[in-house]
Structures are given as C-alpha cells and as structure tokens.
C-alpha cells in the first residue's frame, strides 16, 4: 500500500506581542514543568529545597496554574475559545507573573518556546480585551501620565539630587539617564553615579524634561502607552547627539536596550546610541585605571542579579518567518535566540572583587538562574503580600550562604530588600522561615536556621563611590 504523506501547513510566526502568535507554544509545551525550576543540578539537599525554583509566582502560589506550565494551558484555552478573559482566575494568574524571564531560560534548555513573550502578550491581550490591568496598575499609570514619574512627585524636583559639587556638563557624548527611584527616593545613588563619572573625568549630561521609562506600563500590558514613551525618548536622546546612555537602574536599562526596540519592531543595534548600566561602565573605568577602589569594606557579600540586567538584557533582534511542521517545527529563516546566557553578569562581580576586603559568595540561584527579588512587574502594586513573601525567600537565600550584605545594582530591588530585612528583624527570622518552610517540607525542617546573618542591603554604585 502506498504511504500517505501528510503535508502540514507552515505556521507564520512573528516575534511580537500578539497572543495569537503563541498558539504553537500552547500546543508544543510538553508539561515537563522545568520552567519552574532553576538549574536543578545544583540543589543538593532538602535544606535547600525551597531555593530550587526559578519561578517566584509558582514558589508563592504552589498550585500548578501559577507559573508557566499552568499559564500556558490558560493561554491555549483563551486562544481556542474554551476560556474567557472574564474568568477571574485568568487575570489573577496573569498579573501574579513578574515577567522575570526565569521560566523562559529554563524552558529553552529543552525547547525553544517563547514563553516570556507569551506572558507579555497575554497581558497585552487582557488590556486590549478590557480585562487588564489590575485596578492598582490603572492608578499608577494615571499617576505616571500626570506627573511623568513613578512616585507622582513634582517634575521640577527630578534634578534635586544634583547638588553642589556634582559636575553635570551642558553637552557631552554620555547621557546619564536618571531613573525615578534614584531621582526621588534614593538621591544618594544618583550622586554616587555622578561621583564615579566625575572622578573618572568623564563628562556627562542629563536630559531636560526626562520622564519615567515606562517599565511598569510595559510589565502590566499597557504597551500602547509604552510605545509612545519609547519613540519620544529615543528621538530626544538622538536629538542630543550622545553616543552612550548610562543608567543606574536595571529596569530603565531593560526598557531602553530591549523593550523599546521590541515595541517599535527595531533592533537594539539600530537605536543610534549604546545603552550601558553603570556596572558595565564602571567596570571599564576600573580596567582602564580611571578609577581605583581604595577604601576597605571587610564584608561577606552576595550579589543579586536583577532580571533586567541579567537574563533579560540581551539585545533585541526582530524576527519574522515560519515554523515548519514538516521539519520538526524549525524556524525558517534561522534566528538567533536570546537565552539569557549573555546578560550582564561579570561586570558587577568584577567591581565587587576590586573593592578591598570584600569576600564574594554566590547564592544558590545566580546568573541566568537568579531568583527574582519580587520587585519585577506589577506584583508589588497589585499583590504586595506575594512580593513580600518572594523577597523574604531571596533574603533567606543570601542568609543561607552566610552573606552579611546583599548588593544589588537596582534601586527598586534595594527598596524591597531593605523592607524585607526590616520585616525579618521585626518578626524574627525563625518565624518567617518556619512559615515559608511549612509550605514545602514541614516547619520542623527549619529548626536548624534561627539567626539572621544578613545585616544590610547595598546599592552597587553607592558602594563603589564610597570605595574610590
């Protein structure tokens, strides 16, 4: 008998924020749930069981619908008409996701599914259908639109940090893009960046009338708003004629380098300027001998990789083509994948190693496997108890490896770490650990851990500025 050949139609696929492009993901996912684990080879004992997960939403929620393996079923249901956007669980599950990308790099160990893009597209889909974002995000978006910043502060105060002694040039090749957190909540971080650049004798300018980068708008699905911010900001930066933009915030960095090109369907390399985090730039300055850390900090330090500076910071490359079902679903033409491997991981660690007295220890989850601090996305605004739980897990992980100091190159992360340390000191770490552990392996397993070694959280730029 003659064998029949089943010819399947190629699937058009554009890597963008249209949820319909991700039906393939929902059909191809094999339910292995590796998207909730970090690199499973380095979780050697029950003591470290709750540091196994890379998905904070799942670690908090435990139930399978929290996290990618569940969300992917929800997306399949929405696309095939079995589920409605009005179902209360759909919105809740979607907005408990941080868009931190842990699941994406984990899934890509097995399959090249575009999980993070699917999560981002799901939020956009909910917004377009009138089911998103959460009420708290609407309040925030209105505040950002009205005032131009996250906190709703006066626009005229954005430069209040640049006090006497800070040298800001009228015109320079380097633009310091000052994020809302450094401008308004942690002015010492902004002055530290200025001090690093001033000490290295690198002239820098700032942008008149700068507004919020739109990170929280993007991570809650308000992409139309972000697109307007992105095109205006890119045009203004190019009008200034600068060659490089430096940020102190991992989220501004992610927006400028990756998400603006993504929403504008352009490549990072076509922005017209280079985007650097101060960690990358200061690492170069130290290597060139332009700055030299001298002051001693005799501290056992661990470094937290923010998602925006780590696995999510690889340059954006637009792609459009087909998935060929007759050839194992291969993408044609070939495309370069972003798997988190080439994020900014070593520059901040190099800086820490260059500061006298610092002993650097790694947490169990680091580099592309890092656990989100809880500050990513819109979870902090809509589900603060979930964010607090996740941040406490990360601080306990630092505690577990004996760190006295957690260093982060991200002001938003500094804020949640400071709150977590205050909470643990007030509540007692053993109570906190007991509560966390009870969910997984029973409270009795936590009896061996009773003291909080972690004394402080530090911002990387501030630490470096204090050391030079």
The residues binding ligand SF4 (CB under 6 A) are 29-35, 54-58, 67-69, 72, 97-103, 106-107, 110-111, 113, 115-116, 119
- As measured in angstroms, the least distance from the Cβ of 307 to ligand SF4 is 8
Phi, psi values for residue 37, rounded to 5°: -95, 150
Question: Which burial class, exposed, middle or buried, applies to 147 when counting CB atoms under 10 A from its CB (0-12, 13-18, 19+)?
Answer: middle
- As measured in angstroms, the least distance from the Cβ of 327 to ligand SF4 is 19
In the complex with ligand SF4, the residue whose CB is nearer, 248 or 392, is 392
In the complex with ligand SF4, the residue whose CB is nearer, 78 or 301, is 78
- By the 8 A CB rule, do 193 and 253 touch? no
In the complex with ligand SF4, the residue whose CB is nearer, 67 or 409, is 67
- As measured in angstroms, the least distance from the Cβ of 29 to ligand SF4 is 3
- As measured in angstroms, the least distance from the Cβ of 175 to ligand SF4 is 30
Q: How far is CA 230 from CA 132, 162, 419, in A?
A: 21, 25, 31
DSSP string, 169-187: -SS-SEEEE--HIIIII-H
- For 24, the enclosing helix (H) or strand (E) is helix 23-28
In the complex with ligand SF4, the residue whose CB is nearer, 280 or 381, is 381
Helices (H), 29-177: 56-61, 68-80, 88-95, 102-107, 115-128, 135-147
- Rounded Cα distance between 202 and 131, Å, is 48
b/e burial code for range 245-273 (CB count within 10 A of at least 16 → b): bbbbbbbbbbbbbbbbbbbbebebeebeb
In the complex with ligand SF4, the residue whose CB is nearer, 300 or 367, is 367
In the complex with ligand SF4, the residue whose CB is nearer, 57 or 248, is 57
- As measured in angstroms, the least distance from the Cβ of 75 to ligand SF4 is 11
In the complex with ligand SF4, the residue whose CB is nearer, 103 or 358, is 103
- As measured in angstroms, the least distance from the Cβ of 80 to ligand SF4 is 17
C-alpha atoms less than 13 angstroms from C-alpha of 121 in its C-beta half-sphere: 24
- As measured in angstroms, the least distance from the Cβ of 63 to ligand SF4 is 13
């Amino acid at each position: 008998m003659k064998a029949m050949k089943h010819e399947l139609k190629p699937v058009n696929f554009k890597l963008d924020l249209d949820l319909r492009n991700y039906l393939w993901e929902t059909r191809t996912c094999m339910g292995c749930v590796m998207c909730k684990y970090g690199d499973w080879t380095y979780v050697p004992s029950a003591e470290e069981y709750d540091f196994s997960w890379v998905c904070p939403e799942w670690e908090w929620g435990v139930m399978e619908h929290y996290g990618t393996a569940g969300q992917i079923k929800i997306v399949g249901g929405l696309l095939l008409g079995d589920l409605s956007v009005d179902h209360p669980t759909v919105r809740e599950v979607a907005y408990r996701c941080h868009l931190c990308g842990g699941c994406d790099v984990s899934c890509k160990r097995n399959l090249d599914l575009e999980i993070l893009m699917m999560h981002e597209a799901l939020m956009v889909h909910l917004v377009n259908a009138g089911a998103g974002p959460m009420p708290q995000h609407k309040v925030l978006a209105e505040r950002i639109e009205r005032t131009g910043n996250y906190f709703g502060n006066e626009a005229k105060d954005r430069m209040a940090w640049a006090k006497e002694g800070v040298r800001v040039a009228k015109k320079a090749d380097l633009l310091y893009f000052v994020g809302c957190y450094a401008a308004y909540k942690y002015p010492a971080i902004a002055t530290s960046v200025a001090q690093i650049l001033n000490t290295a004798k690198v002239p820098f300018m700032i942008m008149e009338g700068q507004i919020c980068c739109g990170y929280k708008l993007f991570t809650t699905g308000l992409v139309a708003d972000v697109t307007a911010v992105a095109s205006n900001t890119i045009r203004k930066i190019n009008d200034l004629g600068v060659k490089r933009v430096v940020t102190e915030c991992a989220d501004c960095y992610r927006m400028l380098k990756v998400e603006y090109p993504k929403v504008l369907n352009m490549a990072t390399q076509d922005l017209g300027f280079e985007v650097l985090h101060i960690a990358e730039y200061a690492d170069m300055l130290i290597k060139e001998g332009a700055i030299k850390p001298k002051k001693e900090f005799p501290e056992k330090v661990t470094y937290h990789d923010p998602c925006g500076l780590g696995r999510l910071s690889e340059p954006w490359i637009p792609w459009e083509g087909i998935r060929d079902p007759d050839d194992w679903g291969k993408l044609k033409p070939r495309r370069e994948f972003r798997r988190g491997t080439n994020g900014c991981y070593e520059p901040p660690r190099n800086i820490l190693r260059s500061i006298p007295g610092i002993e650097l220890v790694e947490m169990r989850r680091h580099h592309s496997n890092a656990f989100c601090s809880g500050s990513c996305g819109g979870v902090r605004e809509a589900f603060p108890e979930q964010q607090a739980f996740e941040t406490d897990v990360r601080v306990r992980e630092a505690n577990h490896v004996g760190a006295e100091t957690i260093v982060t190159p991200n002001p938003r992360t500094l804020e949640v770490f400071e709150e977590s340390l205050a909470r643990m000191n007030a509540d007692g770490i053993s109570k906190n650990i007991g509560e966390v552990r009870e969910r997984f392996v029973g409270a009795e397993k936590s009896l061996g851990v009773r003291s909080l070694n972690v004394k402080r959280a530090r911002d990387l730029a501030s630490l470096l500025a204090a050391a030079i």
